Amino acid sequence: REFYSNLWETVLRGDTWSGTIVNRRKDGSEYHEEQTIAPVVDEAGEVTHFIAIKQDVTGQHVVHEALAHAHDALAAQVKEIELLNQKLSEQAIRDPLTALHNRRYLDETIARDMARVGRAGLPLTVAALDIDHFKMINDTHGHASGDKVLQRMADVLRENVRASDLVCRSGGEEFVVVMPGATVDAALERAEGWRVTFASTPVPVRDGVAVSCTVSIGVALHHSRRETFGACLDRADTALYAAKRAGRNRLANAEKA
């Protein structure tokens, strides 16, 4: 009603109206009709007639609708491809079991993190973690149970780090946490929290069976400008294995070695 009200209001005041309407043929079928309606006025300026020029544009409408649908379908496909590419890119830098970042991501991004803390004059501390007696867990309870233990370790780390920290599963039962801006004392305090939390919660591995697991951790401060990240990680690993030799389920500080 609003459409036709506007049409009549336009022509009755003496103006020309142009637009497209859906009309109906004598056989009842609908078609799209492009119209231009011009009023005819007498000498007194009164509207006496209307002249309408009409054109069947159903074919054009069908083409335009088809193009619109094709455009929408193409846009949906492009979006799907973008999401797939994003998913593939994410999978390339994520460990599929724990959803933590992997060693590849660590290698690709660590230079950026080191540069950032270097410019700000802040420390950067690295923690290397290894689940104790992990092979025994796999051998005794099966690899599916071992996977649950790895996922539990990942959850402990994910839930107890800052947004700025980088947590990755570097391989097997080994994990690395990079803590930009953290002093050694702060890193050791956090690592102790991970150790206690992990050891205090048995991991359900199968029906009625839960295993208590522990983790050994080595912590090293990156010696900026004098040391590569790889060298710093090696020192954290050395401290980790010192913790293993000392009885496992403990921390070792590479700075006191």
Q: Which helix (H) or strand (E) holds 230?
A: helix 229-245
Q: Which helix (H) or strand (E) holds 78?
A: helix 58-92
Yes or no: say if 93 and 106 are a contact pair by the CB < 8 Å rule.
no
Q: Where are the beta strands (DSSP E) in the chain?
A: 17-24, 30-41, 47-56, 101-102, 124-131, 166-171, 174-180, 203-206, 209-211, 215-221, 251-253
Exposed (0-12), middle (13-18) or buried (19+): which is 229, by Cβ within 10 Å? middle
> Which of the following is catalytic: 173, 189, 227, 255?
173
Q: Does residue 173 have an active-site annotation?
A: yes
Yes or no: say if 160 and 93 are a contact pair by the CB < 8 Å rule.
no
The residue type of 96 is P
Q: Which residues are identified as catalytic?
A: 173
